[in-house]
A and B are shown apart, each in its own frame.
Chain A
């Protein structure tokens, strides 16, 4: 069953260009998140205050009209007559771009310490492919490290929301009666409070000076606390109709305990819904984390997440002077868009109507 579905999904990718690019984007983003230390030339907190708001560096392959090794120029910070930063190239100084260079140490998957980077220009120069922030930190490196937070928060958050939503929805639908009433009224209470204010209120209930790791897990908990309710309602409705099926009666005759009936007979038969739910609700988690971090309530500097990288882009003059600081927003856009496209494709694929036509 699963293998056939994967095969169908694979076929869909090749007929639908949007879907293929979404899958490619997501794969790349997760690879970047996984190997953030390796693909980024610098540590996320490696700063150079003499190069504050350094613009994106061009890679040159010609020197004096002759083809040479790819290299970047050295720039020097000066100020123009309006005291705006201007970076002027220093004549004659070039730094060759090299692959697999030694640089800042990072820990790979928290297991081993390493200092090898995919590319770099060595100690004497600096490379800023996507520009620098106010403290001269490489935006590309910070976006790569930020992907670790932003791309995983959705997955972990949805996993927790699924766990609670499925179990509570399943229990609610299977037992009915007062259990159902209690669970359903709880979901309604969570759902009537506007999500964003609930997010803020929950965050405000806890100390603001927690370290980033704790905040990270706490944001996940907050987001899934809000997210499980809508899932539990739908799952309850599906279980309500599924429990009337004869295979549930048969399971009881065969002595299956309620726990087994709920987790093995009922919930797996709602898979076509909750798989779609998961992929469609991941963007909500990414945006939720970004919103909290943007407001300074989430991941704290020096740690990076796409949301708190956008903090620098909150002033319109900064965007005008250094447009590249908006780039983390572009990554949020790509990730959210890709998850939505994949979610839509999964919904088409797992549509029960279609299931009927394909099995006959």
Chain B
């Protein structure tokens, strides 16, 4: 069953206008993206930096309003909803961000950060929220005692676990992972990826996994989409895309992976691009 579908989704940023306010310079960050995601599926989105991956993620999460196009979640159109109506959708649609030291407010304790979604999106009592927060911390392998700590007291891997727990306590159906491991050490990356796999199986989650690292994306994804300049140029099951690349960009990304293999710098499993 289809969980998420976008139709001709686009976001244009106006960089400059003339005297009458008409745009003269427009950046087409996302320019007509159609994609579908089935339940319990992992869709990998890969592309070079600047190709619009993060903008696409922000459009799906409705941090940005699309210039045109539609987003349907679970059969309901969500791209035009007001901030108030979005509150019903938000628990289903969560995200884990790239840099855990940037995505956690340095002045919030870990417990406050993880409980933030519960505070805004649910009517749980204080005690219930606390219980859910501790439950969430346990599920991502964080000791309960660090709930009163601040982000700077944690390691990078622990911080990203906080980021994951924060999304999970809301019991989402779709989690958008925007480069969730690229700010982490290689050994920690593997742990986080395995944690994400486990959580997916336990909770019947779907992921959109965004990365610039094809090696990593092919390892985790059921299907892959390759993005170039705001468009998805190639999309299909992981095997097909990797073994039979149709687009030159896909080949370039694959060659980059191959070169790393030869140089011996890439680890066997998930690694840095």
Interface residue ranges of A232-273 to B (CB < 8 Å): 245-247, 249-257, 260, 264-265, 268-269, 271
- Contact between chains at B61 and A253 (CB < 8 Å): yes
Docked pose: A271 CA to B83 CA in angstroms: 29
Interface residue ranges of B73-103 to A (CB < 8 Å): 83, 86-87, 90-91, 93-95, 97-99, 102-103
- Contact between chains at B116 and A251 (CB < 8 Å): yes
Docked pose: A253 CA to B163 CA in angstroms: 12
- Partner of B90 from the list A246, A253, A268 (CB cut-off 8 Å) is A253
- Contact between chains at A247 and B63 (CB < 8 Å): no
A356 to B: closest C-beta gap in Å: 10
Q: How many A-B residue pairs have CB under 8 A?
A: 62
- Contact between chains at A255 and B58 (CB < 8 Å): no
Q: Which residues of A contact B121 (CB under 8 A)?
A: 254-255
Docked pose: A9 CA to B58 CA in angstroms: 42
Interface residue ranges of A327-360 to B (CB < 8 Å): 359
- Partner of A253 from the list B95, B106, B152 (CB cut-off 8 Å) is B95
24 A-B pairs within 8 Å (CB atoms) are namely: A1-B107, A246-B97, A246-B98, A246-B99, A246-B103, A247-B102, A247-B104, A249-B58, A249-B63, A250-B104, A253-B61, A253-B63, A253-B90, A253-B94, A253-B95, A254-B121, A254-B170, A255-B86, A255-B117, A255-B120, A255-B121, A257-B120, A269-B107, A271-B107
Q: Which residues of A contact B87 (CB under 8 A)?
A: 255
Asked if B166 is an interface residue, CB under 8 A from chain A, the answer is yes
- Contact between chains at A265 and B120 (CB < 8 Å): no
Docked pose: A1 CA to B106 CA in angstroms: 10
- Contact between chains at A269 and B94 (CB < 8 Å): no
Q: Which residues of A come within 8 Å of B, CB atoms? A: 1, 245-247, 249-257, 260, 264-265, 268-269, 271, 359
Q: Which residues of A contact B58 (CB under 8 A)?
A: 249
Q: Which residues of B contact A359 (CB under 8 A)?
A: 152
Q: Which residues of B contact A271 (CB under 8 A)?
A: 107
A265 to B: closest C-beta gap in Å: 5
- Contact between chains at B102 and A255 (CB < 8 Å): no
Q: Which residues of A contact B170 (CB under 8 A)?
A: 254
A68 to B: closest C-beta gap in Å: 62
Knowing A255-B90, A256-B120, A260-B120, say if A269 contacts B63 (CB, 8 Å). Answer: no
Docked pose: A101 CA to B137 CA in angstroms: 64
Q: Which residues of A contact B103 (CB under 8 A)?
A: 245-247, 249-250
Knowing A1-B107, A249-B97, A269-B107, say if A254 contacts B90 (CB, 8 Å). Answer: yes
A273 to B: closest C-beta gap in Å: 14
Q: Which residues of B contact A260 (CB under 8 A)?
A: 120
Q: Which residues of B contact A245 (CB under 8 A)?
A: 102-103
Q: Which residues of B contact A1 (CB under 8 A)?
A: 107, 150
B260 to A: closest C-beta gap in Å: 27
Q: Beyond A246-B102, A251-B116: 10 further Cβ-contacts under 8 Å?
A: A1-B107, A250-B103, A252-B61, A253-B61, A254-B94, A254-B121, A254-B170, A255-B86, A255-B87, A255-B117
A258 to B: closest C-beta gap in Å: 8
B21 to A: closest C-beta gap in Å: 13
A22 to B: closest C-beta gap in Å: 28
Among residues of A, the one whose C-beta sits closest to the C-beta of B102 is A246
Among residues of B, the one whose C-beta sits closest to the C-beta of A260 is B120
- Contact between chains at B107 and A268 (CB < 8 Å): yes
- Contact between chains at B99 and A252 (CB < 8 Å): no
A269 to B: closest C-beta gap in Å: 6
Docked pose: A146 CA to B265 CA in angstroms: 74
- Contact between chains at B166 and A269 (CB < 8 Å): no
Interface residue ranges of B220-238 to A (CB < 8 Å): none
Docked pose: A271 CA to B106 CA in angstroms: 12
Interface residue ranges of B138-156 to A (CB < 8 Å): 150, 152
Q: Which residues of A contact B90 (CB under 8 A)?
A: 253-255
B117 to A: closest C-beta gap in Å: 4
Asked if B2 is an interface residue, CB under 8 A from chain A, the answer is no
Q: Which residues of B contact A257 (CB under 8 A)?
A: 83, 120
A288 to B: closest C-beta gap in Å: 32
Docked pose: A269 CA to B117 CA in angstroms: 20
Asked if B17 is an interface residue, CB under 8 A from chain A, the answer is no
Docked pose: A271 CA to B107 CA in angstroms: 10
B261 to A: closest C-beta gap in Å: 32
Among residues of B, the one whose C-beta sits closest to the C-beta of A271 is B107
B7 to A: closest C-beta gap in Å: 22
Knowing A255-B90, A255-B117, A359-B152, say if A250 contacts B107 (CB, 8 Å). Answer: no
- Contact between chains at B105 and A269 (CB < 8 Å): yes
B258 to A: closest C-beta gap in Å: 32
- Of the listed residues B87, B102, B105, the one surrounded by the most CB atoms of chain A closer than 10 A to its CB is B105
Docked pose: A328 CA to B74 CA in angstroms: 74
Q: Which residues of B contact A247 (CB under 8 A)?
A: 102-105
Docked pose: A257 CA to B117 CA in angstroms: 11
Knowing A246-B97, A260-B120, say if A252 contacts B63 (CB, 8 Å). Answer: yes
